[in-house]
Amino acid sequence: MCTRSIARRRPQRAAGVLLSALALLAGSACSVAGADPIGEGPDTLRVVLPEEPPTLEPCDASLTATGRVTRANITEALTERDPSTGRLEPALAVKWTRTSATSWTFTLRPGVTFHDGSAFTAAAAAFSIRRATDSAIECNVDGYIFSDSEVTARAVDDSTLEVETAEPDPILPLRLSFVEVVPTSTNPKARVREPVGTGPYRLDEWSQGRFLRLKRYAGYWGEAPDYAAAKYVWRAEGSVRAAMVTNDEADVAIGLAPEDGAGDRAVEFVTNEVSYLRMDATRAPLNDIRIRQAVNYAIDREGLVTAVFAGRPSGQLVSKGVTGHNPRIGPWPYDPDRAKDLVAQARADGVPTGTTVTIIGRNGIYPKAAEAMEVVQDGLLKAGLKVEIKMLDVNAWLEYLLRPFPKNTGPTLLQAQHGNQAGDAAFTMGQIYGSEGAQSSYGTPALDAAIEKAQLASGTERQKAFAQAFARQNDEVVRDAVMANMTGILALSPDVRYRPDSATSDEMRLADMRRAD
Amino acid sequence: MFTMLRRRAVSSVVPLLVVVLGVFFLARLTGDPANLYLPLSATPEMRADFAARNGFDQPLVTQFGDYLAQVARLDFGESLRTAQPAAEAVLRAFPATLQLAGWTMLLALVGAVVIGSVAAYRPNSATDRIASFLSSTAASVPDFWLAIMGVLVFAVTLGWLPTSGTNGGAAWILPVATLLVRPFGVLVQVVRGAMVSALSAPYVKVARGKGASEARVVFGHALRNAAAPVLTVAGDLAVGLVNGAVVVETIFGWPGIGKLMIDSVLQRDFAVLQAAVLVTALAIFALNILVDVCHALLDPRVRLRAAA
**Of A13, A191, A209, which is closest to B93 when you measure between CB atoms?**
A209
pLDDT of residue A320: 87
Q: If you average pLDDT over residues B158-187, what whole number do you get?
A: 90
pLDDT of residue A11: 46
pLDDT over threshold 60, residue B245: yes
Q: What is the pLDDT of residues A379-430, one digit of tens each?
A: 999 999 999 999 998 888 988 998 888 888 899 999 999 988 888 999 899 8
Q: If you average pLDDT over residues A475-491, what whole number do you get?
A: 95
Q: If you average pLDDT over residues A196-221, what whole number do you get?
A: 95
Which A-chain residues 57-96 have CB contacts (< 8 A) with chain B?
62
pLDDT of residue A243: 94
pLDDT over threshold 80, residue A74: yes
pLDDT over threshold 70, residue A35: no
What H or E segment, with its residue span, contains residue A391? Answer: strand A386-392
Q: What is the pLDDT of residues A327-361, one digit of tens each?
A: 999 999 999 999 999 999 999 999 999 999 999 99
pLDDT of residue A410: 92
Query: Nearest C-alpha of chain A: how many angstroms from B72?
Result: 27
pLDDT of residue A39: 47
Q: Which of A165-174, A500-509, B219-228, B259-268 has the lowest mean pLDDT?
A: B219-228
pLDDT of residue B2: 73
Task: With CB atoms and an 8 Å threshold, state whether A18 touches B231.
Answer: yes
pLDDT of residue A466: 96
Q: What is the pLDDT of residues B35-74, one digit of tens each?
A: 888 877 777 887 888 888 888 989 999 999 999 999 999 9
pLDDT of residue B304: 61
Task: With CB atoms and an 8 Å threshold, state whether A143 touches B45.
Answer: no
Report which DSSP code applies to A170.
T
Which A-chain residues 221-280 have CB contacts (< 8 A) with chain B?
233-237, 239-240, 243-244, 246-247, 249, 261
What CATH class does B89-306 carry? mainly alpha
Query: Nearest C-alpha of chain A: how many angstroms from B126?
Result: 30
Centre a 10 Å sphere on the Cβ of residue A511 and count the other Cβ atoms it contains. 19
Q: If you average pLDDT over residues A217-232, what whole number do you get?
A: 96
pLDDT of residue A10: 45
pLDDT over threshold 60, residue A1: no
Query: Nearest C-alpha of chain B: how many angstroms from A34?
Result: 4
pLDDT over threshold 80, residue A438: yes
In chain B, the percentage of residues whose pLDDT exceeds 70 is: 96
Q: Which of A4, A9, A22, A212 to mutate to test the interface with B (most CBs of B within 10 A)?
A: A22
pLDDT of residue B300: 66
Chain A hits for B259, CB-CB cut-off 8 Å, are 236
Query: Nearest C-alpha of chain B: how many angstroms from A514?
Result: 25
Q: Is the dihedral of CA A28, A32, A38, A41 positive or negative?
A: negative
Q: What is the pLDDT of residues A104-129, one digit of tens each?
A: 999 999 999 999 999 999 999 999 99
pLDDT of residue B301: 67
For residue B210, give every residue at least 6 positions away whose Cβ sits within 8 Å of its Cβ, in sequence order, or none: none
Task: State how far the Cα of B66 lies from the Cα of B82, in Å rounded to an integer.
Answer: 21
Query: Nearest C-alpha of chain B: how many angstroms from A264?
Result: 14
List, as one string, the DSSP characters of B1-68: -HHHHHHHHHHHHHHHHHHHHHHHHHHHTT--THHHHS-TT--HHHHHHHHHHTTTTS-HHHHHHHHH
Q: Which of A90-94, A161-165, B32-36, B260-264 has the lowest mean pLDDT?
A: B32-36
pLDDT of residue A436: 86
Locate CATH 1.10.3720.10 in chain B.
Answer: 89-306
Nearest CA in chain B to A232: B165
Using CB atoms within 10 Å of the CB of residue A408, give its burial: 0 to 12 exposed, 13 to 18 middle, 19+ buried. exposed
Report which DSSP code applies to A162.
E
**pLDDT averaged over every residue in chain A:** 89
Task: With CB atoms and an 8 Å threshold, state whether A22 touches B105.
Answer: yes
pLDDT of residue A31: 40
Chain B hits for A34, CB-CB cut-off 8 Å, are 167-169
Q: If you average pLDDT over residues B204-221, what whole number do you get?
A: 77
Task: State how far the Cα of A198 lies from the Cα of A93, in Å rounded to an integer.
Answer: 13
Query: A32 touching B, CB under 8 A?
Result: yes
pLDDT over threshold 60, residue A26: no
**pLDDT averaged over every residue in chain B:** 86
In chain A, the percentage of residues whose pLDDT exceeds 90 is: 69
Task: With CB atoms and an 8 Å threshold, state whether B251 touches A240.
Answer: yes
Query: Nearest C-alpha of chain A: how many angstroms from B26?
Result: 14
Q: Is the peptide bond before A313 cis (omega within 30 degrees of 0)?
A: no
Nearest CA in chain B to A239: B148
pLDDT over threshold 80, residue B303: no
